[in-house]
Amino acid sequence: MDYRTLGTSGLRVSAVGLGCNNFGIRCDLGETRAVVDKALDLGITLFDTADSYGRRGGSETLLGQILGSRRKEIILATKFGMAMDDEGTLKGASRWYIMTAVEASLRRLQTDWIDLYQLHRPDPATPIEETLRALDDLVQQGKVRYIGSSNFSGPQLIEADEAARRAKLHGFVSAQNEYSILRRAVEQDAIPAMVACGVSLLPYFPLASGLLTGKYRREDIPPGTRLATPRPHESAVLAGANWQLIDALDRYCRERDRSLLELAISWLLAKSVVASVIAGATKPEQLERNVSAARWSLTKDELADIDRLCALAGAPA
């Protein structure tokens, strides 16, 4: 396993991380334990969850029950900001809500500290300086080690960085945004902002909700797979799938005795701004495949080939 520094922080994270969004929904306690055990065996240290995962609290609760003394072996990342009640009153990034949310996450996770505490999405109702001041207090109190963002645009990342510097507060060291070979919009404004701010990217949906696993073909969605019974966002992914590009990438990999999964993960890790590729898993063998997939060191020529295939398929490169 390769390990990388997360932004300007002192955190070293595994190049392949574990996305914990399936825990409490697709995975029960026993299934979650099997995935967590395998992740630790493989050297995965970055575990990324959120208070909203697992039907509001389920993912954090299972991790808290399972980790025990192994908690200190990992970089535990969670998020706040999404609605935690039906009325929509428990959400956002105000000082009051942050102080409420962090205590709830600490209880569910059965830990005294969170290594990376991330705002799940921007909160237009709260000034960014108020959010940063509250998070800075949590760092000072030792409840949080570092802070990060998720789903911020380039201008929002710059605004947050400038606010932190101006007020001499801890700033974001990481940013979670959707990024894959099939979804490259983040390259236009967010990634340049991350580079300018010294922030590392933790791409989510690196396998495009499964389209880059190699399991799916244009007219062949295998029964029993995730996309056979898609959730709303996965239905949208299927409806907008660029099958011309997926087929071209698959052929490119087969010609080199590689897999589409290898390309998807290794292509992201070839980007210097990426610290870790967070991929979810419901079975231990999926984790083994993800870790093995990271071992393709793409050359400049191969990266240029991928850009060319994207352009030919009408996708931005």
Domains of the chain: 3-207+261-297 (3.20.20.100)
Of all residues in the chain, what percent carry a pLDDT higher than 90? 88
Percentage helix, strand, coil, to 5, in the chain? 45, 15, 40
- The pLDDT confidence band at residue 214, using thresholds 50, 70 and 90, is confident
- The pLDDT confidence band at residue 120, using thresholds 50, 70 and 90, is very high
**For the segment 251-281, what is each residue's pLDDT rounded down to a tens digit?**
999 999 999 999 999 999 999 999 999 999 9
241: helix, strand or coil: coil
Single-letter amino acid code for the residue at 204 = Y
- The pLDDT confidence band at residue 221, using thresholds 50, 70 and 90, is low
In this predicted structure, the answer to whether residue 133 has a pLDDT above a threshold of 90 is yes
Distance CA 179, CA 212 (A): 12
Helices (H), the chain: 29-41, 53-67, 95-109, 128-141, 154-167, 190-197, 232-239, 243-255, 260-269, 284-293, 300-312
- Class of residue 292 by CB neighbours under 10 A (exposed 0-12, middle 13-18, buried 19+): middle
What's the average model confidence in pLDDT over 29-52? 98
Single-letter amino acid code for the residue at 165 = R
Per-residue DSSP letter, 71: G
In this predicted structure, the answer to whether residue 223 has a pLDDT above a threshold of 70 is no
The answer to whether residues 214 and 260 touch, using CB atoms and an 8 Å cutoff, is: yes
Catalytic residue status for 117: no
- Exactly one of 3, 53, 146, 252 is catalytic; which is it? 53
In this predicted structure, the answer to whether residue 234 has a pLDDT above a threshold of 70 is no
The answer to whether residues 120 and 81 touch, using CB atoms and an 8 Å cutoff, is: yes
DSSP H or E run through 75: strand 75-80
